[in-house]
Amino acid sequence: MFGAANLRSAGNRKTMTVETVSLNRSHGGMQGVYKHASRETGTEMTFSAYVPPHQDGAKLPVVWYLSGLTCTHANVTEKGEYRKACADLGLIFVAPDTSPRGQGVPGDPAGAYDFGLGAGFYVDATQPPFSRHYRMWSYVTKELPELVAANFPVEETRQSILGHSMGGHGALTIALSHPARYRAATAFSPIASPSQVPWGIKALGGYLGDNREAWRKHDTVALIEDGARFSDFLVDIGDADPFLKEQLRPELLEHACARAGIPLTLRLQEGYDHSYYFVSTFMADHLTWHAARLKA
């Protein structure tokens, strides 16, 4: 899809319009930004999608990318440096926003960056006032895949997922919860166990309430402890990341995977921080990892 399109939602049979915001040719493919009215969030949502050069009628693997705190679709779209690798490997690359936005969407009461707007944590909130709009789990795992499959040349049996920071948390938890859907899952600087670190305790408590049992399906380490499995993971973290010891806690993921027998390639990259300078440096490595599994 390189223009506007109409489709019917299987969930509520409501006609939804996908509007093209921008299109730019890159590496022989097309980088687009799109918006639509979301049935899950009750807001307008924006996402970006890169479609590599391909033959008419071809169906391509799709890689889903989840961004981190304070980000929109634009951060990875403008700074991620993924298009050359996606063009070479034949991968569609889709990046949604990190939260609902717009009039009536509540943010952090204190105006902080780590909760509310730009910080949806890829969960379906159950606590008011967030439960009305903050349905990012259902948006990312249900609504957006339906929309993309209806409008882009996606091979639905070949999907993978990756993310950065808060999005790394989301990518790993979603993969563990849908192991038959995703053929690969990787992460940059993920929050490995949000139930045990300040960012996650604030977010999961605010969105899901005080019952910590409800948090476990949104915690990679807890999911593994509770029996969830995935084929293998690749995780990159910079050893100069200022959030490494307090918020990311990769050793918790390493121990959980070791106990569960999940192959984990955990790379601590010397001198790199938490930024997109780091992400873009190793993006091609991750996409090559995904392509090998998507095309196997």
Model pLDDT for residues 81-95, shown as the tens digit of each residue: 999 999 999 999 999
Q: What's the rounded mean pLDDT across residues 30-39?
A: 98
What's the domain count of the chain? Answer: 1
The answer to whether residue 119 is domain-embedded is yes
CA distance 219 to 183: 20
pLDDT tens track for 122-161:
999 999 999 999 999 999 999 999 999 999 999 999 999 9
Question: Which residue's structure tokens are 């027998």?
Answer: 261
What confidence score (pLDDT) does residue 15 get?
Answer: 44
CA distance 266 to 253: 9
The answer to whether residue 117 is domain-embedded is yes
Q: Is the pLDDT of residue 11 over 80?
A: no
Q: What angle do CA 149, 37, 49 make, to 5 degrees?
A: 40
Catalytic annotation present for 241: yes
The answer to whether residue 2 is domain-embedded is no
The answer to whether residue 75 is domain-embedded is yes
User: What residues contact 270, with CB distance under 8 A and at least 6 apart?
Assistant: 239
Per annotation, catalytic residue among 165, 189, 193, 195: 165
Question: Which residue's structure tokens are 């670190």?
Answer: 197
Catalytic annotation present for 193: no
**CATH number, domain with residue 40:** 3.40.50.1820
CA distance 218 to 215: 6
Per annotation, catalytic residue among 36, 219, 241, 286: 241
Catalytic annotation present for 38: no
Q: Is the pLDDT of residue 5 over 80?
A: no
Q: Is the pLDDT of residue 12 over 80?
A: no
Q: What's the rounded mean pLDDT across residues 50-73?
A: 98
The answer to whether residue 126 is domain-embedded is yes
- Give the amino acid at 208: L
Range list of β-strands (E), the chain: 5-8, 15-26, 29-37, 44-51, 60-66, 92-96, 154-164, 182-188, 233-238, 264-269
The answer to whether residue 144 is domain-embedded is yes
What confidence score (pLDDT) does residue 17 get?
Answer: 78
Q: What's the rounded mean pLDDT across residues 105-134?
A: 97
Q: Is the pLDDT of residue 258 over 50?
A: yes
Among residues 38, 290, 76, the alpha carbon closest in space to that of 186 is found at 290
The answer to whether residue 111 is domain-embedded is yes
The answer to whether residue 266 is domain-embedded is yes
Percentage of the chain modeled with pLDDT above 70: 95
**Using 50, 70 and 90 to split pLDDT, how confident is the model at 13?**
very low
Per annotation, catalytic residue among 169, 274, 286, 290: 274
The count of other CB atoms within 10 Å of the CB of residue 145 is: 18
**Using 50, 70 and 90 to split pLDDT, how confident is the model at 183?**
very high
